[in-house]
Structure 1
Amino acid sequence: MKEKLLVSSNEQLKEFAKIVNSDHPLKKVTADEKLKVGVDLGTSSIVLTVLNAKDQIIYGAYEYDHAVQDGIVVNFMESVSILRRLKEKAEKVLGRELTTACGAIPPKTGEKSAKVVANVIEETGLECTGIEDEPTAAAKFLHLTNGTVVDIGGGTTGISIFHNNKLVHVIDEATGGFHMTLVLGGRYKIKNDEAEQLKRDKNKEQEVYSVIRPVVEKMAAIVQNMDAEVIDPVIVVGGATNFTEFTTTFSKSLKREVYKPLYPQFVTPLGIAMFDN
């Protein structure tokens, strides 16, 4: 059952991975067709996704950034500049203007954070139609009605629990991919930028993971502390989960099966776009 839950999502994610940052869309669009746009201002990257009215993937683009810290925009103008470039690239590929977009923030980071994200979006000429919390956006893309989504981004671990298609509990903790980077930097006595590149080097994944495993175990402990509130299936998403052994560590810590979609870094950005109504 749980594997079936991810089949459709994984097919969409594979399609998106083929066209993201490319020079062609997945599907052609007409001049008057309704498009839905998602903007994910992440700690390690900014992602723009484009869907049609039926939530089918059209296009997407991203850039790595240093404009967000722990899920909070700390460099407004850099965020705007990157998002403007992504918007212009998407418009060039699609051959038409994008007019609206939905954004997202980590759970419980407050109205001020939501306002800043909305301001970044609108500074690029897009109308911001709403700000969602990131794990809820992930759950929408995964079509999850019952279960637990653990969205691990660059700066935070957000946990949303759903029962009968309703959000029943949500928390957010300041532990994410950036904390892995800090641990690597300390272990090898290198700067954060170098540590970030090392973290993304698939050829050194086994060595890297042996160093950052305690950070992953801490993330799992955040979920474990919710104990009886956690509902199966538990699904982890976010760029920081992109390690082969990640779900093995989580499953061992939680003593329950943990699942991860393909290309987990794109789940939340695609879910955000689904809210652009």
Structure 2
Amino acid sequence: MSEINQTFQYCDELVSEFEQVIERPVKSKSSVYYTGVDLGTACVVVAVLDENKRPVAGAYRYADVVRDGMVVDYIGAIQIVREMKQQLEEQLGTELIYAAAAIPPGTDSLDGGAVKNVVQAAGFELTALLDESTAANEVLKMKNGAVVDIGGGTTGISIMKDGKVIYIADEPTGGTHFSLVISGAYRKSFEDADVYKRNPDNHKELLPVLKPVVEKVASIISQHIKDFDVQEISLVGGTCCLTGIETIIEKQTGVFTHKPQNPMFVTPLGIALSCTQESSY
């Protein structure tokens, strides 16, 4: 098996394991639990790992508390994370103390404080705050290539060399724009278009409608990777759940493009993997 396939196999297995514990949490006698909080534009995801950094529980909730990578409903975000924390604590029969969080690449000076405050106000000790694409690479373990995180409001790009981030960028195009196109094409409300987009049964029908927006995302990726020797692209983020998005991006960029199993959960798992027992904030 090639190194690339081995890397992606680890990613897909971890995501699959996480999907299982969302439905059936694992009560273990772990000495410590590591939590990852992903405040997404469309969805808030909380992942919990045990002392061996294996998934034991998780939850997600669609919410409108973040827009274009920025927290716009501070109180609502705190309430959602607090409720999810309590839910997971009841499932595991333990208190969750340590958590890590992430922000879109290059936005630490703009919104890092808000994300930090949300996690702390929800009752966690924040031990790490990193950019989303770097967090995703904790799961992808990409050595050389680009991690592209297509969220609800923005597309974040991290270029990796020898496993280290050498370039980051964030552009305002993402799932929100997909929903706006669907809303216009089908004469649906934005909310109904958003729900319609999430159903995999509709993806084959939607792909031709959304192709111009996907191609815009691909052009953003191409622009940011053109000065680097990028051999592969890995897509993460909830918007990448659109069936066939990887094919269009690969064709437009001319670079091998991989989409993990359920790309929505890669970043929160990476955030949890970055969590420690030593508070840095």
TM over 0.5, shorter chain: yes
> Percentage identity across aligned positions?
38
Q: CA deviation at 1:92?
A: 0.5
| Partner in structure 2 of residue 250 of structure 1 | 249
Q: Show the 5 A alignment for 1:98-247.
A: 98-225=96-223, 226-247=225-246
1:5 aligns with 2:4: no
Q: CA deviation at 1:233?
A: 2.0
Structure 1 counterpart of 2:121, one-letter code: E
In structure 2, the CA distance between the partners of 1:40 and 1:230, relative to structure 1 (3 Å rule), is farther
Structure 2 counterpart of 1:14, one-letter code: S
Contact 1:223/1:230 (8 A) holds in 2: no
Contact 1:148/1:230 (8 A) holds in 2: no
SS in 2 for 1:33: coil
Structure 1: distance between partners of 2:118 and 2:255: 40
| Partner in structure 1 of residue 279 of structure 2 | none
Q: CA deviation at 1:127?
A: 1.0
| Partner in structure 1 of residue 273 of structure 2 | 274
SS in 2 for 1:190: coil
User: Which residue of 6, 15, 18 corresponds with 1:16?
Assistant: 18
Q: CA deviation at 1:230?
A: 4.7
Contact 1:160/1:169 (8 A) holds in 2: yes
Structure 1: distance between partners of 2:53 and 2:154: 27
Q: CA deviation at 1:216?
A: 0.8
Structure 2 counterpart of 1:101, one-letter code: A
Structure 2: distance between partners of 1:176 and 1:168: 23
Deviation per CA, 1:201-235: give whole Å up to 9, x if none: 22221221111111111111111113131522211
Structure 2 counterpart of 1:253, one-letter code: Q
Deviation per CA, 1:59-87: give whole Å up to 9, x if none: 11011001110111100111111111110
Runs of 4+ in 1 over 6 A off after TM superposition: none
SS in 2 for 1:3: helix
Contact 1:47/1:60 (8 A) holds in 2: yes
SS in 2 for 1:228: coil
| Partner in structure 2 of residue 61 of structure 1 | 59
In structure 2, the CA distance between the partners of 1:230 and 1:241, relative to structure 1 (3 Å rule), is farther
What count of residue pairs does the alignment treat as equivalent? 273
Contact 2:148/2:155 (8 A) holds in 1: yes
SS in 1 for 2:146: strand
Deviation per CA, 1:111-146: give whole Å up to 9, x if none: 241110011111111111121100000011112222
1:44 aligns with 2:42: yes
| Structure 2 segments unaligned to the other structure (5+ residues) | 277-281
Q: CA deviation at 1:261?
A: 0.6
With normalisation by structure 1, the TM-score equals 0.95
Contact 2:182/2:193 (8 A) holds in 1: yes
Structure 1: distance between partners of 2:271 and 2:16: 18
Q: Show the 5 A alignment for 1:88-103.
A: 88-103=86-101
Give RMSD over aligned pairs. Answer: 1.3
| Structure 1 segments unaligned to the other structure (5+ residues) | none
| Partner in structure 1 of residue 82 of structure 2 | 84
Structure 2 counterpart of 1:259, one-letter code: H
